[in-house]
Structure 1
Amino acid sequence: MDTDAKTGNRKGRLNYPADFKRRLATEACKPGISVSKLARQHTINANMLFKWRRELRAVLFEPTTPALLPVLVKRAAAPAPARHKAAPGGMIEIVIGEAVVRIHAEVDAALLKLVLQSLRS
């Protein structure tokens, strides 16, 4: 273990060199690495290594200043005219005796006349 840790001024706690912290934190960021196992290998507390890793990530991934990007706005093209006229909506219901005839949208007038005549007779 090459930590070169020195006793700090608070209750005999160790102060680790910045390059040691950075190296271990970088190692702890690698996929598949167990932070607890890495901490045990270097005889340090796992919570301390988690803290170093969190601090390293905060520095590496700190938000950058926002930048404005150029935008080209094109005028919207006029909508193409409809090819087909929309069928009129709605329905007509005709009751003749017990028969009910429902007519949806457009219907051929001659055919409707024939159906209604056959129902009356």
Structure 2
Amino acid sequence: MGNNRVCTHCKTEIICNTDDIKQCDCTQVNISNDTRVFLAGSFHKCLCNNCLSKFDEMVISSKGKPFPKRRSEMEEGVHYYMENEYFVFTELYHLMKGQCCQNGCRHCVYGFKNRYL
């Protein structure tokens, strides 16, 4: 018996079947062990198949790439974009950072939501 929930990343409605996990829709998506480790350390609960695939692609594509430590190492459109003269960091940047800062960032890949924002 499935429970109606929402994906903790994109907020799409999903049916989560934790009572019989082998019958849950998320088992249809093959993800790498690195992605499993990343998700285990995140605040996410249930994710839709699209988000699972997206996270897997991000984890795989970021593997081996150095985290940009200086502004000169960042690529606009890859690590950040500009909005009203402010830097807005992308999901890839947050993933490459390796941990959640718990500031409620707009593109947080760790699933943290600041209840005060």
TM-score, length-normalised on structure 2?
Answer: 0.24
Larger Rg: 1
TM-score, length-normalised on structure 1?
Answer: 0.24
